[in-house]
């Protein structure tokens, strides 16, 4: 009999791999629109295990040059409004500006919705990375308009941070405000002499507090108080003034300044964090709480750390339940130990790719106790999980099975060999499979998926690539969805795809529907 691997009729019906992944193994290339869609919605522009920040930037600019400017504009708006991204929308807007697109004013209005985004845009444009270093007349006018329309609170919030600072931006564009208070504010911001009484109320309160003329802590962003000497009681008062999300993000800051030593503060913060109504109102998802749990310092009181776990359990109400026979395959190979959003000096997240993969598996298991969890590296790792255990406990148990090479087809082969029932298979990986690479034809992942499909014609495959690249092990089809990167929106996307409400090109379709 002739070599079955070479002369297999089934393998000839599948599309052959057309590129190499970052590991040098065979893979399928995404279309340019799909690449930009994934990078725009989930790209991190930081050093990852397989890609440098520079290579990601080069890839984005290359795609912007190739694609229609209207799609790029929609991608920028979608990334900001739906993906809640910061750097990518500003980069796409700066690239459109450098290309002198007529869509720049419209995109600016929808993307630059905060002082942070304004400073990001100016920083990227002035860096020369997109091909120009000067703002130019149109961008200068757009920045002036934002400065002249922003509220006092928005301007104070925008004044937090450097490179560039808001003062630098004001010096670049020279806004001409119509209101006396705004003119006084800009003068104060850039260090010019100003009549304090001409300043708006919050700014006057801040200056009075800084000078010692008032002991009342002003209702301004606490970062503006960072260089001031606040008492423990005043920091505790900041905790009472913060919103739920602000509280979640700033636990280490409150601990560092002694707020939790004030009687009643720990109990108040813990109760707020674990309040079912607050969690529901914030519409917080497990990933945000996992990040908070991993980032919180050891000196933060145990009661508060336990409250974060309680909040994470409550947040599962926002995770949709998948119907039918569900299989989750988290990648636990060595490359999954890198930070989920890449390496960034002074701002590297404590959440690793493996933590995200384990979280997805644990969250699905909690909502669907009958789901099958199959961690893999070179082979499938045998781990027993209790659906009743906390998500944190199961995620940590999965993350402990860490190390080895990447073989994305391993769990699929095991399922096909056992003729298992599968309705939804979720593969959470960095997609850099190399153990099972083939010299020609379809990828081993696709071949094993076809075997599963012969047993389960209705089955759907979701490949979540935590650090989005340019290639996948499973080509886009009606029954295969590739999701690049990870955010809490992924849970909704998976549910919509498995229920038939979105096609394989979800990101592209969603972006093209933007007005």
167 with 188: CB under 8 angstroms?
A: no
Assess contact for 200 and 217: CB atoms under 8 A. Answer: no
Name the residue among 484, 508, 427 with its Cα closest to residue 460.
Answer: 427
- What is the pLDDT, as a whole number, of residue 228? 61
Residue-wise pLDDT for 40-56, tens only, equals 766 544 444 344 567 77
pLDDT for 53? 63
Given this model, what pLDDT does residue 11 score?
A: 45
- Could you identify the residue written with the tokens 């990334």? 79
Of 202, 207, 262, 267, the C-alpha closest to 236 is 262
CATH (residue range 319-512): 3.40.50.410
| Structure-token pair, residue 457 | 């014609």
pLDDT, residue 1, reads: 47
Pair 491, 288: CB distance under 8 Å: no
How far is the C-alpha of 172 from the C-alpha of 25, rounded, in Å? Answer: 48
Q: Which residues contact 295 (CB under 8 A, 6 or more apart)?
A: 252, 349, 350, 351
Q: What is the pLDDT of residue 468?
A: 64
Nearest to 404 by CA among 482, 307, 500, 332: 332
Please state whether 72 falls in left (phi above 0), alpha (psi between -120 and 50) or beta.
Answer: alpha
For residue 116, give the 3-state DSSP assignment: helix
Residue 7: per-residue pLDDT:
46
Could you tell me which of 203, 201, 184 has the C-alpha nearest to residue 193? Answer: 184
Where the chain has pLDDT below 70, the residues are 1-12, 41-53, 226-228, 318, 341-350, 468-469, 485-489, 501-507
Q: What is the dihedral of CA 203, 206, 210, 212, to 10 degrees?
A: 110
**Which residues belong to CATH 3.40.50.410 in the chain?**
319-512
- Kindly calculate the radius of gyration of the chain based on its CA atoms and give it in whole angstroms: 25
**Cβ within 8 Å of residue 364, ≥6 positions away:** 319, 322, 326, 328, 371, 373, 426
What are the pLDDT digits (tens) for 378-400? 999 988 888 888 878 887 888 88
Tell me how far apart the terminal alpha carbons of the chain are, to the nearest angstrom: 59
In the prediction, which pLDDT does 43 show?
58
pLDDT on residue 139: 92
The tokens for 280 are 């529901």
Q: What whole-number distance in Å separates Cα of residue 74 and Cα of residue 94? A: 14
6 Cβ neighbours under 8 A, 6+ residues apart: none
Structure tokens at 412: 């699929």
User: What are the CA-CA distances from residue 485 to residues 38, 192, 428 (Å)?
Assistant: 7, 45, 10
Coil vs helix vs strand at 422: coil
Contacts of 389 (CB under 8 A, 6+ apart): 397
């Amino acid at each position: 009999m002739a070599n079955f691997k070479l002369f297999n009729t089934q393998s000839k019906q599948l599309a052959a791999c057309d590129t190499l992944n970052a590991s040098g193994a065979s893979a399928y290339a995404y279309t340019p629109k799909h690449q930009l869609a994934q990078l725009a919605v989930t790209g991190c522009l930081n050093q990852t295990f397989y890609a440098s920040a520079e290579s990601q930037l080069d890839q984005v600019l290359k795609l912007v040059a190739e694609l229609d400017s209207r799609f790029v504009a929609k991608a920028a708006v979608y990334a900001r409004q739906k993906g809640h991204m910061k750097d990518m929308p500003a980069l796409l807007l700066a690239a459109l500006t450098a290309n002198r697109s007529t869509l720049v004013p419209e995109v600016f209005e929808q993307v630059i919705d905060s002082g942070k985004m304004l400073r990001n845009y100016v920083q990227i444009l002035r860096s020369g990375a997109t091909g120009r270093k000067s703002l130019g007349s149109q961008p200068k006018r757009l920045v002036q308009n934002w400065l002249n329309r922003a509220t006092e609170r928005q301007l104070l919030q925008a004044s937090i941070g450097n490179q560039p600072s808001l003062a630098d931006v004001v010096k670049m564009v020279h806004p001409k405000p119509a209101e006396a208070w705004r003119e006084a504010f800009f003068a104060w911001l850039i260090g010019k002499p100003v009549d304090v009484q001409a300043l708006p109320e919050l700014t006057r309160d801040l200056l009075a507090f800084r000078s010692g003329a008032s002991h009342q802590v002003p209702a301004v962003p606490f970062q503006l108080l960072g260089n001031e000497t606040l008492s423990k009681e005043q920091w505790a008062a900041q905790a009472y003034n913060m919103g739920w999300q602000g509280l979640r993000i700033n636990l280490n800051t409150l601990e560092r300044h002694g707020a939790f030593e004030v009687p009643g503060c720990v109990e108040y913060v813990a109760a707020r964090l674990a309040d079912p109504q607050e969690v529901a109102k914030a519409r917080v998802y497990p990933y945000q709480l996992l990040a908070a749990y991993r980032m919180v310092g050891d000196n933060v009181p145990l009661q508060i750390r336990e409250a974060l776990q309680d909040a994470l359990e409550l947040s599962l109400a926002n995770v949709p339940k998948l119907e039918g026979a569900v299989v989750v395959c988290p990648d636990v190979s060595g490359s999954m130990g890198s930070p989920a959003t890449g390496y960034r000096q002074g701002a590297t997240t404590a959440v690793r790719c493996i933590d995200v993969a384990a979280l997805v598996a644990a969250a699905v298991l909690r909502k669907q106790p009958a789901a099958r969890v199959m961690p893999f590296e070179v082979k499938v790792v045998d781990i027993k999980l209790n659906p009743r255990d906390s998500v944190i406990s199961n995620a940590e148990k999965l993350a402990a099975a860490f190390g080895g090479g990447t073989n994305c087809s391993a769990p699929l082969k095991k399922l096909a060999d056992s003729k298992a029932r599968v309705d939804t298979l979720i593969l959470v990986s960095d997609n850099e499979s190399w153990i099972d690479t083939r010299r020609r034809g379809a990828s081993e992942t696709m071949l094993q998926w076809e075997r599963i499909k012969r047993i389960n014609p209705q089955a759907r495959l979701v490949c979540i690539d935590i650090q989005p690249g340019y290639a996948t092990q499973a080509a886009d089809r009606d029954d295969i969805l590739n999701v690049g990167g990870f955010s809490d929106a992924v849970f909704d996307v998976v549910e919509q795809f498995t229920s038939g409400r979105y096609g394989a090109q979800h990101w592209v379709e969603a972006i093209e529907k933007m007005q």
